[in-house]
């Protein structure tokens, strides 16, 4: 994992958290070096979750049918772009 695409962090956690994480990783068959992977995954998940919660809060006052219509429209546009309609054989 030590290459040009990584950054070294120094993090401080309680002894209790350290021991619990190491025990958890060990029970999952992971090793000491997997702590970095676990932290990166946890950070990504937390950022994603916070973005989802912000979008939910921002759209809380919009009727569900209006939101679903916007979702359906966006999905159709993306599908049309990714998989353009092919002419049907005559």
- pLDDT exceeds 90 at position 74: yes
What pLDDT sits at residue 10? 94
Rounded-to-integer distance, Cα 80 and Cα 62, Å = 26
* Domain ranges for the chain: 15-82
Neighbours of 59 (CB within 10 A): 13
Angle of helix 15-27 relative to helix 34-58, nearest 10 degrees, comes to 100
What pLDDT sits at residue 90? 66
pLDDT digits (tens, 9 = 90+) for 7-65: 999 999 999 999 999 999 999 998 878 999 999 999 999 999 999 999 999 999 999 99
Judge whether 11 and 39 are in contact, CB under 8 Å. Answer: yes
0.85 surpassed by pTM:
no
């Amino acid at each position: 994992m030590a290459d040009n695409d990584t950054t070294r962090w120094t993090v401080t956690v309680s002894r209790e958290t350290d021991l619990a994480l190491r025990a958890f990783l060990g029970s999952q068959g992971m090793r000491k070096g997997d702590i970095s992977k676990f932290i990166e995954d946890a950070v990504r998940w937390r950022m994603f979750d916070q973005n989802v919660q912000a979008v939910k809060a921002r759209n809380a006052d919009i009727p569900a049918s209006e939101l679903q219509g916007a979702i359906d429209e966006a999905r159709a546009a993306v599908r049309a772009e990714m998989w353009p309609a092919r002419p049907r054989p005559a």
